[in-house]
Structure 1
Amino acid sequence: MNKTKLKIAALLGGIILCTSSAYASLDEAKQLKIISYNVYNGMKLDESEGKQQYIDWAKAQDADIIAWQEMNFFTREKLEKFAAGYGHKYAVLLKESPDDPAFFPVAITSKYPIVNVNKVVDNLWHGALFADVGNYHFVITHMNPFWTAKRIDEINLIIDSIKYSRDPNGKWIIAGDLNSFSPADKADYDKSTLLEDIKEKQKKRPILENLVNGQLSYTVQQNLLDAGYIDALKLKHKEFISTAPTKVFYDQASVPLRYDYIYVSPPLKNNVIDVKVLKDDFTDKYSDHYPVQMIINNK
């Protein structure tokens, strides 16, 4: 084969490879890695240009989908550029208000197209982002931090939104900071000083109503469990694993607690391979919450 033919063959080979890469789809992935992360007030502890520290961390995780909470000061354009930095071509922000430090939007980014987006802000404190990636239905939310009664209303709205959707029995993933306690953790909380800690906080901030009859409430999580959803972390770990506080203390309890969850619907239960709370040098100091990671079989 002469040099001209070799060059043509090489060029054609490169085109085929590029085309094949460009058309890689979700269907070709054997597994999916999903992370949910409350990043603390717009990643304010990362002072680098464009939040490069977060980009470097996300790039190292190589997740397929990331659910973000507290994406303050982000706009659609900023989120898309940020996500592209760690290889996610698709990004959706629930709402944007670049100048409001108390806006607390959620977001989702993905290697694969995000479709059928529904941004719900009515009757929810921070809102909920409903979006599909393939045939996976995601609900990304950050629940009311002040009042238990409002959180119960919010979770019931989310449960009903799924119940009356076009695919109520499909593959649903609910992720985010639910600001509430799981009955699966009750025995551990009973042995801790969490109740006293919350009572003390409520004395200092009368706006807070996070107890019911002076006790911890498990109703938010119980309603999810009663609706058939599965606490992914507890599916793989029976022991208590906290998601807050980190080495950064803000307004979370000073004793270990779990506010950050990934729930899955029954069709995904047997697909869950691994779930963990990601605790490393980065997550120790860049937010007051630790992220939760779930790996599932894509089938």
Structure 2
Amino acid sequence: MIKSKLKMAALIGSLIFSTSTALAAIEDVKELKMISYNVYNGMKLDESEGKQKFIDWAKAQDADIIAWQEMNFFTREKLEKFAASYGHKYAVLLKESPDDPAFFPVAITSKYPIINVQKVVDNLWHGALYADIGNYHFVVTHMNPFWTAKRIDEMNLIIDSIKYSRDPNGKWIIAGDLNSFSPADKKEYDSSNLLNDIKEKQKKRPILENLVDGQLSYTVQQNLIDAGFIDALKIKNKDFIATAPTKVFYDQASTPLRYDYIYVSPKLKDDVMDVQVLKDEFTDNYSDHYPVQMIIKNTK
């Protein structure tokens, strides 16, 4: 009888715990951690079954939200299973083509419901994924790697999509590989060999048009800044911190670059608590880009 009662108490306790876990809402947490990570061609460097090494790394980070880029070879079902493995019940993939190595979709996964999803592929090289989580509006994108003029058009499209949205002055977060330069980093780039590197690459690959009048262009992100958005990393870190290359050799980034960003709207500026480029033994070796992490106060 005593054993039966103990079993019943344990079962009830388990049900209460699982129910309270299931009902956990974004409003219940004081801080939110998000990560943006370009994982290099569908996590190609992780050859484990089901990308277990990425799963283990994501578990250790325990982020609330992860914005992924270059999720090649993932399907919706694969992404949902992958996300569930590190505690994210919700996952959205921009597009899927499991057999196309040049498809480069973005994705977002979360502990909390992802709603009001919009998948935009028209007039964008890789596309942009719009989604709401709580009262936050996310835009996850990966911009054109070949032509500055096209990147300018892509960024202007994203800016206008926010400007004419139902909540233009709300809590917006733009995250991803922007394949462009921040004017905040101009001093570092001017003193580096970056301009010559790009010129040499363009000689070898005439398709590339990543200079304007033979010079580095900052227009893509200047337009974003002029629209009121704030480079989150620079709120907390004034020094230049490269996001590529990692310790894995990658011939497109012989000079230290910052291509990976999280931008926030003015309403979120004072809520930003911490922003880091995550450099550890894992991120040194499993992609050509380092992830960016932001922690914010979760306010109403």
Q: What's the TM-score once normalised by structure 2's chain length?
A: 0.97
Residue 27 of structure 1: aligned partner: 27
Task: Indicate the SS of the match to 2:159.
Answer: helix
Take 1:15 and 1:64, find their aligned partners in 2: how far apart are those partners? 24
Alignment of 1:57 with 2:61, yes or no, is no
Alignment of 1:182 with 2:215, yes or no, is no
Q: Could you give the per-residue CA deviations for residues 77-118 of structure 1, whole angstroms, max 9, x where no partner exists?
A: 111111111111110000000010000000000001100000
Take 2:186 and 2:146, find their aligned partners in 1: how far apart are those partners? 20
Alignment of 1:248 with 2:248, yes or no, is yes
Task: Indicate the SS of the match to 1:125.
Answer: coil
One-letter amino acid matched to 1:42? G
Residue 67 of structure 2: aligned partner: 67
Residues 196 and 100 (structure 1), Cα distance of their counterparts in 2 relative to 1, 3 Å cut? same
Take 2:121 and 2:24, find their aligned partners in 1: how far apart are those partners? 34
Residue 220 of structure 1: aligned partner: 220
Residues 199 and 27 (structure 1), Cα distance of their counterparts in 2 relative to 1, 3 Å cut? same
Task: Indicate the SS of the match to 1:59.
Answer: helix
Residue 108 of structure 1: aligned partner: 108
State the 1:251 CA deviation.
3.9
State the 1:63 CA deviation.
0.5
Question: How big is the alpha-carbon RMSD for the aligned residues of Structure 1 and Structure 2?
Answer: 1.3
Take 1:66 and 1:217, find their aligned partners in 2: how far apart are those partners? 29
Kept after mapping to 2: 8 A contact 1:69/1:106: yes
State the 1:64 CA deviation.
0.4
Give the % identical residues: 84
Residue 82 of structure 2: aligned partner: 82
Take 1:41 and 1:122, find their aligned partners in 2: how far apart are those partners? 22
Take 1:5 and 1:99, find their aligned partners in 2: how far apart are those partners? 55
Take 1:4 and 1:51, find their aligned partners in 2: how far apart are those partners? 42
Take 2:100 and 2:108, find their aligned partners in 1: how far apart are those partners? 20
Residue 258 of structure 1: aligned partner: 258
Residue 98 of structure 2: aligned partner: 98
Take 2:280 and 2:163, find their aligned partners in 1: how far apart are those partners? 37
Residue 233 of structure 2: aligned partner: 233
Q: Could you give the per-residue CA deviations for residues 161-189 of structure 1, whole angstroms, max 9, x where no partner exists?
A: 00001110000000000000000000010
State the 1:18 CA deviation.
2.2
State the 1:16 CA deviation.
2.3
One-letter amino acid matched to 1:26? I
Residues 283 and 250 (structure 1), Cα distance of their counterparts in 2 relative to 1, 3 Å cut? same
Q: Which runs of 5+ in 2 are unaligned?
A: none
One-letter amino acid matched to 1:25? A
- Residue correspondence of structure 1 range 37-56 to structure 2 within 5 A: 37-56=37-56
Residue 193 of structure 2: aligned partner: 193
Task: Indicate the SS of the match to 1:289.
Answer: coil
State the 1:10 CA deviation.
4.5
State the 1:5 CA deviation.
5.6
Take 1:3 and 1:16, find their aligned partners in 2: how far apart are those partners? 20
One-letter amino acid matched to 2:31? Q
Take 1:262 and 1:128, find their aligned partners in 2: how far apart are those partners? 14
Residue 151 of structure 2: aligned partner: 151
Residue 294 of structure 1: aligned partner: 294
State the 1:12 CA deviation.
3.3
Q: What's the TM-score once normalised by structure 1's chain length?
A: 0.97
State the 1:248 CA deviation.
1.7
Residues 17 and 252 (structure 1), Cα distance of their counterparts in 2 relative to 1, 3 Å cut? same
Kept after mapping to 2: 8 A contact 1:76/1:96: yes
Q: Could you give the per-residue CA deviations for residues 6-61 of structure 1, whole angstroms, max 9, x where no partner exists?
A: 65554433332222111111111111110000000001111111111111111111
Task: Indicate the SS of the match to 1:252.
Answer: coil
Task: Indicate the SS of the match to 1:72.
Answer: coil
Task: Indicate the SS of the match to 1:181.
Answer: coil
Residue 283 of structure 2: aligned partner: 283
Q: Could you give the per-residue CA deviations for residues 149-172 of structure 1, whole angstroms, max 9, x where no partner exists?
A: 000000000000000011100000
One-letter amino acid matched to 1:151? R
Take 1:205 and 1:12, find their aligned partners in 2: how far apart are those partners? 66
Kept after mapping to 2: 8 A contact 1:244/1:252: no
Residues 251 and 123 (structure 1), Cα distance of their counterparts in 2 relative to 1, 3 Å cut? farther
Q: Which runs of 5+ in 1 are unaligned?
A: none
Task: Indicate the SS of the match to 1:284.
Answer: coil
